[in-house]
């Protein structure tokens, strides 16, 4: 055994007297000066050895650096001419498959772990009891908690558990941790992660997420869930180009019924109807003009979006701009010309005269029928009817509908105006028939 110890090779900053490893040259020198003062010759030779070794190392480094610099200058100063001759390909090896294999294994590991956590998160969030007292037992049933009876330190921060630093469990993996190492995930955010169709309504910025309105997680689980949330947001995020196009399509969808309503209102004026007036049609025309301005502005923003000339995206942007300009020109700017006030009055006067003639003919017909019924009954006297007073229910209903029509016109709800005007005409017709029947 002694022979084996003598043949053993020792390495390091060893004391030549006691064979102790001092780890550094400074410690070795101090050790020798303090414990082996009688061996001054050995100490002197030791210092000389260290000095020469240091000098040689520094000189070699400077020499190698100078030679490397000289070679670099010489390489850069040389001019190389490559003749136009065909060269054969050398040996090459593709590392793509190896890279994909390593990358796929790593991604699969993270994806599998994240999917497992998402399944547990879905069970915790969707089936969570409303009673706070039952929540802890439910969470422990979904994710089994680790037994912490023999754990004395927090695995994350290595601080001892005591009365002030209690043991807690991650709700997704069940591992132990202290309160300082816990991270809370908002329940509304968790619901939006497991079901992206649910709109995310997170808590207020000044409201702290606690165990009452969140889930206690460890840092590892929280980072995996947060990474999946970021991936979802990147996938669902819309570029400025897509946002502008969707806004333009929304304005076009609003413009189509507005143009149809404008044509209907214009035709009503040309027909002499009193459902709409000239101010209503002008207001609708102004609304269409604002929609056209918005569509034009958004189409210009789309075509100005940066894109490489000649690419598919550039051609798409130009096509959208041309389609928007054509739509504005053909459908929004080429609207029907409105009649003047004089034309409207003339048409309404003619319509009124025709209505009066029709009412007169209807009145004569009813009188003839009434005379025929009285003659057939052998009665020579006519029944006297009382005049309709101001408390007639038909008049009250007509006044109420006129008030509704006035309010609808102020808010540019012309579809509602048309319906109310139709009801008002029916009431007027009924009132006129009532007056004809009551007239002696």
Q: Return the CATH number at 302.
A: 1.20.58
More confident residue, 138 or 387: 138
Query: If pLDDT is split at 50, 70 and 90, which confidence band does 67 have?
Result: low
Q: What is the pLDDT of residue 380?
A: 42
Tell me: pLDDT of 298 over 90. Answer: yes
Distance (Å, rounded) from C-alpha 48 to C-alpha 68?
A: 30
2, pLDDT greater than 70: no
Q: Are residues 177 and 261 in the same domain?
A: no
Is residue 17 domain-resident?
no
Q: CA angle 420-422-426, nearest 5°?
A: 115
The token pair that represents 262 in the structure block: 């404008």
Which of 191, 218, 236 corresponds to the end of one domain? 236
Q: What's the confidence (pLDDT) of residue 200? A: 60
Least confident range of 200-209, 323-332, 355-364: 200-209
Residues 6+ apart with CB under 8 A from 253: none
Residue 26: pLDDT band (50, 70, 90) is confident
Same domain, 256 and 323: yes
- In the chain the first and final C-alpha atoms are separated, in Å, by 147
Residue 430: enclosing H or E segment and its boundaries? helix 414-438
Rounded Cα distance, 176 and 169, in Å:
5
Percentage of residues in the chain with pLDDT exceeding 70?
75
- pLDDT score at 327: 92
The string of pLDDT tens digits covering residues 171-202 is 998 889 999 999 998 888 888 888 877 766 54
pLDDT, position 291:
92
Top-ranked range on mean pLDDT: pick from 33-37, 46-50, 208-212, 386-390:
208-212
Same domain, 300 and 172: no
Residue found under tokens 């206690």: 216
pLDDT tier at 28, thresholds 50, 70, 90 = confident
Pick the residue with more confidence: 50 or 195?
195
What are 77-122's pLDDT values in tens digits? 444 445 566 767 777 778 888 888 888 888 788 888 888 888 888 8
Q: For the stretch 219-234, what's the b/e string if a residue is b when 16 or more beta carbons lie within 10 angstroms of its beta carbon?
A: ebbbebbeebbeeeee
In this model, does residue 5 exceed pLDDT 70? no
Contact between 299 and 326 under an 8 Å Cβ cutoff? The reply is: no
Same domain, 221 and 147: yes
Model confidence at 421, pLDDT cuts 50, 70, 90, reads: confident
- Average pLDDT of the segment spanning 288-298: 92
Determine how many CB atoms are found less than 10 A away from the CB of residue 19.
8
Co-location of 328 and 368 in the same domain: no
Confidence of residue 324 (pLDDT cuts 50, 70, 90): very high
State the Cα torsion 190-193-194-197 to the nearest 10°.
Answer: 120
Does residue 309 belong to any structural domain of this protein? yes
Q: How many domains does the chain have?
A: 3
On whether residue 50 sits in a domain, the answer given is no
Average pLDDT over every residue of 149-155: 86
What is the predicted pLDDT for the residue at 134? 85
What whole-number distance in Å separates Cα of residue 217 and Cα of residue 247?
Answer: 40
What pLDDT was estimated at residue 37?
63
Burial status of residue 291 (CB atoms within 10 A of its CB: 0-12, 13-18, 19 or more): buried
Asked if residue 4 belongs to a domain, the reply is no
Residues 232 and 244 in one domain: no
CATH number at residue 125: 3.30.40.10
Same domain for 126 and 175, yes or no, is yes
pLDDT band of residue 40 (cuts 50, 70, 90) is low
Average pLDDT on 266-276 reads: 79
- Note whether residue 11 is domain-resident: no
Average pLDDT of the chain to the nearest whole number: 77
Residue 3: inside a domain: no
Residue 65 confidence (pLDDT)? 52
Q: Does some domain include residue 417?
A: yes
What is the DSSP code (8-state) at residue 145?
A: P
Whether 226 and 246 share a structural domain: no
- Mind giving me the DSSP string for 72-130? HHHHHH------S-----------HHHHHHHHHHHHHHHHHHHHHHHHHHHHHHHT--S
Within-domain flag for 149? yes
Closest to 178 in 3D by CA, of 219, 129, 143: 219
Region 348-361: mean pLDDT is 74
Nearest to 193 by CA among 217, 166, 159: 217
Are residues 111 and 157 both part of a single domain?
A: yes
**DSSP per residue over 178-209, as a string?**
-STT-EEEEHHHHHHHH-TTSPP-PPPTTSPP
Closest residue by Cα to residue 392 from 345, 440, 367, 428: 428
**Same domain for 102 and 190:** yes
Domain coverage including residue 115: 98-200+209-236
For residues 226 and 109, membership in a common domain is answered with yes
Residues 304 and 365 in one domain: no
The number of CA neighbours under 13 Å toward the Cβ of 289 is 6
Q: How many CB atoms lie within 10 A of CB 71?
A: 10
CB 220, CB 234: distance < 8 Å = no
């Amino acid at each position: 055994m002694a022979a084996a110890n003598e043949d053993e090779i020792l390495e390091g900053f060893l004391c030549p007297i006691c064979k102790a490893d001092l780890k550094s040259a400074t410690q070795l020198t101090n050790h020798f000066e303090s414990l082996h003062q009688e061996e001054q010759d050995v100490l002197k030779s030791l210092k000389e050895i260290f000095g020469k070794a240091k000098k040689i190392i520094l000189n070699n480094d400077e020499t190698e650096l100078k030679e490397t610099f000289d070679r670099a200058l010489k390489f850069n100063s040389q001019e190389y001419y490559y003749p136009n001759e065909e060269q054969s390909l050398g040996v090459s090896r593709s590392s793509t498959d190896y890279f994909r294999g390593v990358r796929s294994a790593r991604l699969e590991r993270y994806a599998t772990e994240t999917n497992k956590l998402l399944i547990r998160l879905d069970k915790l969030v969707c089936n969570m009891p409303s009673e706070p007292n039952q929540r802890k037992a439910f969470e422990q049933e979904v994710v089994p908690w680790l037994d912490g009876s023999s754990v004395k330190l927090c695995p994350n921060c290595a601080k001892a558990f005591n009365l002030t630093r209690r043991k807690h469990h991650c709700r997704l993996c069940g591992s132990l941790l202290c309160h300082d190492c816990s991270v809370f995930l908002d329940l509304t955010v968790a619901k939006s992660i497991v079901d992206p169709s649910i709109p995310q309504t997170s808590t207020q910025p000044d409201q702290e997420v606690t165990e009452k309105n969140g889930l206690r997680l460890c840092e590892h689980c929280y980072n995996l869930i947060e990474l999946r949330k970021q991936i979802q947001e990147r996938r669902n995020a819309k570029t400025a180009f897509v946002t502008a196009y969707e806004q333009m399509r929304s304005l076009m969808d609003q413009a189509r019924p507005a143009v149809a309503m404008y044509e209907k209102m214009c035709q009503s004026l040309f027909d002499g109807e009193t459902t709409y007036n000239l101010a209503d049609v002008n207001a609708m025309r102004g609304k269409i003009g604002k929609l056209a301005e918005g569509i034009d502005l958004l189409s210009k923003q789309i075509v100005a979006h940066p894109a490489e000339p000649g690419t598919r995206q550039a051609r798409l942007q130009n096509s959208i701009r041309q389609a928007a300009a054509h739509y504005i020109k053909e459908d929004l700017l080429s609207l029907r010309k409105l009649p003047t006030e004089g034309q409207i009055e003339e048409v309404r006067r003619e319509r009124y005269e025709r209505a009066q003639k029709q009412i007169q003919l209807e009145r004569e017909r009813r009188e003839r029928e009434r005379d025929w019924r009285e003659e057939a009954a052998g009665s020579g006297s006519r029944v006297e009817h009382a005049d309709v007073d101001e408390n007639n229910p038909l008049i009250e209903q007509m006044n109420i509908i006129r008030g509704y029509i006035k309010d609808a016109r102020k808010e540019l709800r012309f579809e509602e105006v048309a319906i109310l005007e139709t009801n008002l005409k029916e009431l007027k017709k009924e009132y006129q028939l009532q007056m004809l029947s009551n007239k002696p």
